Chain A
Amino acid sequence: MSQAEKLKQGQFTNPETPGYVGFANLPNQVHRKSVKKGFEFTLMVVGESGLGKSTLINSLFLTDLYPERVIPGAAEKIERTVQIEASTVEIEERGVKLRLTVVDTPGYGDAINSQDCFSTIISYIDDQFERYLHDESGLNRRHIVDNRVHCCFYFISPLGHGLKPLDVQFMKAIHNKVNVVPVIAKADTLTLKERERLKRRILDEIDEHGIKIYHLPDAESDEDEDFKEQTRVLKTSIPFAVVGSNQQIEAKGKKVRGRLYPWGVVEVENPEHNDFLKLRTMLITHMQDLQEVTQDLHYENFRSERLKRGGRLSSHGYILPLSPAKGPEPEEVDKDIILQAKEAELRRMQEMIAKMQAQMQKQGDGDGDGQHM
Chain B
Amino acid sequence: MSEIVPPEVRPKPAVPAKPTGISSVHGSQGSGVGGQGAGGGSSLLGYIGIDTIIEQMRKKTMKTGFDFNIMVVGTSGLGKSTLVNTLFKSQVSRRSTGWSRDEKIPRTVEIKAVSHVIEEGGVKMKLTVIDTPGFGDQINNENCWDPISKYINEQYEKFLKEEVNIARKKRIPDTRVHCCLYFISPTGHSLRQLDTEFMKNLSRMVNIIPVIAKSDTLTVEEKIEFKQRVRKELEISGIEFYPQKEFDEDMEDKSDNDKIREAMPFAVVGSDKEYQVNGKRVLGRKTPWGVVEVENPIHCEFAQLRDFLIRSHLQDLKEVTHNIHYETYRAKRLNDNGGLHPISTAPSGDTQESNL
- Could you list which residues of chain A lie within 8 angstroms of chain B, going by C-beta atoms? 48-51, 71-75, 77-78, 110-115, 157-161, 164-166, 169, 186, 188-189, 191-192, 201, 259-267, 272-273
Q: Which residues of B contact A188 (CB under 8 A)?
A: 216-217, 287, 289
Q: Which residues of B contact A160 (CB under 8 A)?
A: 75-77
- List 9 extra interface pairs beyond A113-B141, A188-B289, CB under 8 A: A74-B237, A112-B142, A159-B213, A188-B217, A188-B287, A189-B214, A260-B219, A264-B290, A273-B288
Which among B214, B232, B288 is the interface contact of A159 at CB below 8 angstroms?
B214
Give the docked Cα–Cα distance between A260 and B105 (Å).
34
Q: Which residues of A contact B101 (CB under 8 A)?
A: 161
Find out whether the CB atom of A115 lies under 8 angstroms from the CB atom of B289: no
Which B-chain residue is minimally distant from A261 (CB atoms)?
B219
Give the docked Cα–Cα distance between A201 and B77 (Å).
13
- Could you list which residues of chain B lie within 8 angstroms of chain A, going by C-beta atoms? 75-78, 101-102, 105, 137-142, 185-197, 213-214, 216-217, 219-220, 229, 232-233, 236-237, 285-293, 296, 298-299
Which among B142, B194, B213, B287 is the interface contact of A191 at CB below 8 angstroms?
B287
Number of A-B residue pairs having CB atoms within 8 Å of each other in the complex: 121
User: Given A112-B194, A113-B141, is A191 in contact with B285 using a C-beta cutoff of 8 Å?
Assistant: yes
Q: Which residues of B contact A265 (CB under 8 A)?
A: 289
Find out whether the CB atom of B193 lies under 8 angstroms from the CB atom of A78: yes
User: Given A49-B187, A51-B187, A75-B236, is A261 in contact with B142 using a C-beta cutoff of 8 Å?
Assistant: no
Name the residue in B142, B216, B296 with the highest tally of chain A Cβ atoms < 10 Å from its Cβ.
B216
Find out whether the CB atom of A161 lies under 8 angstroms from the CB atom of B77: yes
Q: Which residues of B contact A159 (CB under 8 A)?
A: 75, 77-78, 185-186, 213-214
Which among B75, B192, B216 is the interface contact of A189 at CB below 8 angstroms?
B216
Which B-chain residue is minimally distant from A52 (CB atoms)?
B188
Find out whether the CB atom of B139 lies under 8 angstroms from the CB atom of A115: yes
Find out whether the CB atom of A201 lies under 8 angstroms from the CB atom of B102: yes
Q: Which residues of B contact A74 (CB under 8 A)?
A: 190-193, 195-196, 233, 237
Which among B139, B213, B298 is the interface contact of A262 at CB below 8 angstroms?
B298
Give the docked Cα–Cα distance between A72 and B191 (Å).
10
Name the residue in B197, B214, B287 with the highest tally of chain A Cβ atoms < 10 Å from its Cβ.
B287
Give the docked Cα–Cα distance between A114 and B194 (Å).
11
Find out whether the CB atom of B290 lies under 8 angstroms from the CB atom of A272: no
Which among B141, B186, B216 is the interface contact of A112 at CB below 8 angstroms?
B141
Q: Which residues of A contact B76 (CB under 8 A)?
A: 160-161
Find out whether the CB atom of B187 lies under 8 angstroms from the CB atom of A192: no
Find out whether the CB atom of B139 lies under 8 angstroms from the CB atom of A169: yes
Find out whether the CB atom of B142 lies under 8 angstroms from the CB atom of A263: no
Q: Which residues of B contact A161 (CB under 8 A)?
A: 76-77, 101-102
Q: Which residues of B contact A191 (CB under 8 A)?
A: 285-287
Closest A-B pairs by Cβ, 10 of them: A50-B187, A264-B290, A264-B289, A263-B290, A160-B77, A74-B191, A189-B217, A50-B189, A159-B77, A113-B140
Find out whether the CB atom of B233 lies under 8 angstroms from the CB atom of A75: yes
Find out whether the CB atom of A114 lies under 8 angstroms from the CB atom of B285: no
Which among A75, A165, A169 is the interface contact of B137 at CB below 8 angstroms?
A165
Find out whether the CB atom of A165 lies under 8 angstroms from the CB atom of B138: yes
Which among B188, B191, B213, B287 is the interface contact of A264 at CB below 8 angstroms?
B287
Q: Which residues of B contact A166 (CB under 8 A)?
A: 139
User: Given A49-B189, A74-B233, A160-B75, is A266 in contact with B289 using a C-beta cutoff of 8 Å?
Assistant: yes
Find out whether the CB atom of A115 lies under 8 angstroms from the CB atom of B140: yes
Which among B77, B194, B219, B233 is the interface contact of A157 at CB below 8 angstroms?
B77
Give the docked Cα–Cα distance between A169 and B137 (Å).
13
Give the docked Cα–Cα distance between A77 and B197 (Å).
13
Find out whether the CB atom of B191 lies under 8 angstroms from the CB atom of A114: no
Give the docked Cα–Cα distance between A51 and B192 (Å).
13
Can you name 5 A-B residue pairings with CB atoms under 8 Å?
A50-B189, A110-B193, A160-B77, A188-B289, A192-B287
Find out whether the CB atom of B233 lies under 8 angstroms from the CB atom of A272: no
User: Given A50-B185, A164-B137, A166-B139, is A75 in contact with B77 using a C-beta cutoff of 8 Å?
Assistant: no
Q: Which residues of A contact B236 (CB under 8 A)?
A: 73, 75
Q: Which residues of A contact B285 (CB under 8 A)?
A: 191
Name the residue in B78, B138, B191 with the highest tally of chain A Cβ atoms < 10 Å from its Cβ.
B138
Find out whether the CB atom of B105 lies under 8 angstroms from the CB atom of A165: yes
User: Given A74-B191, A74-B196, A273-B288, is A259 in contact with B137 using a C-beta cutoff of 8 Å?
Assistant: no
Give the docked Cα–Cα distance between A201 and B140 (Å).
23
Q: Which residues of A contact B189 (CB under 8 A)?
A: 49-50, 71
Find out whether the CB atom of A114 lies under 8 angstroms from the CB atom of B139: yes
Give the docked Cα–Cα distance between A142 and B194 (Å).
50
Give the docked Cα–Cα distance between A112 and B191 (Å).
12
Find out whether the CB atom of B185 lies under 8 angstroms from the CB atom of A261: no
Name the residue in A110, A111, A169, A189 with the highest tally of chain B Cβ atoms < 10 Å from its Cβ.
A189
Q: Which residues of B contact A72 (CB under 8 A)?
A: 190
Which B-chain residue is minimally distant from A260 (CB atoms)?
B219
Name the residue in A71, A74, A192, A260 with the highest tally of chain B Cβ atoms < 10 Å from its Cβ.
A74
Which B-chain residue is minimally distant from A204 (CB atoms)?
B102
Find out whether the CB atom of B140 lies under 8 angstroms from the CB atom of A114: yes
Give the docked Cα–Cα distance between A188 and B217 (Å).
6
Find out whether the CB atom of B188 lies under 8 angstroms from the CB atom of A50: yes
Find out whether the CB atom of A111 lies under 8 angstroms from the CB atom of B216: no
